[in-house]
Amino acid sequence: MATLLAVALPGWAQQSQLPLLELFAGMHRVEAEVAATLDSRASGLMQRTIMAPQRGMLFVFPEVAKHCMWMRNTLLPLSVAFLDEKGRIINVEDMQPKSDDNHCAAKPARYALEMNLGWFKSRGLGAGFAITGIDKAPSGR
Q: What is the pTM of this model?
A: 0.88
In a domain, 11, yes or no: yes
Domains in the chain, number: 1
For residue 140, what pLDDT is reported?
78
In a domain, 38, yes or no: yes
For residue 92, what pLDDT is reported?
98
C-alpha to C-alpha distance for 29 and 10, rounded to whole angstroms: 17
What is the β-pairing status of strands 28-35 and 109-116?
Answer: unpaired
Mean pLDDT of the chain: 89
In a domain, 63, yes or no: yes
Q: What is the SS3 assignment for 103? A: strand
In a domain, 9, yes or no: yes
CA of residue 83 relative to chain centroid, distance = 9
In a domain, 141, yes or no: no
pLDDT-based confidence at 1, cuts 50/70/90? very low
Amino acid letter for position 48:
R
C-alpha to C-alpha distance for 10 and 65, rounded to whole angstroms: 33
C-alpha distances in Å from residue 26, one per residue of 51, 101, 111, 120, 132: 21, 30, 18, 11, 8
Structure confidence by residue, pLDDT tens digits, 71-111: 999 999 999 999 999 999 999 999 999 999 999 999 999 99
What is the β-pairing status of strands 55-65 and 4-5?
Answer: unpaired
Domain hosting 100: range is 4-136
Structure confidence by residue, pLDDT tens digits, 40-56: 999 999 999 999 999 99
Given a contact cutoff of 8 angstroms between Cβ atoms, the answer to whether 32 and 132 are in contact is no
CATH number at residue 13: 2.60.120.1140
In a domain, 28, yes or no: yes
Structure confidence by residue, pLDDT tens digits, 127-136: 999 999 999 9
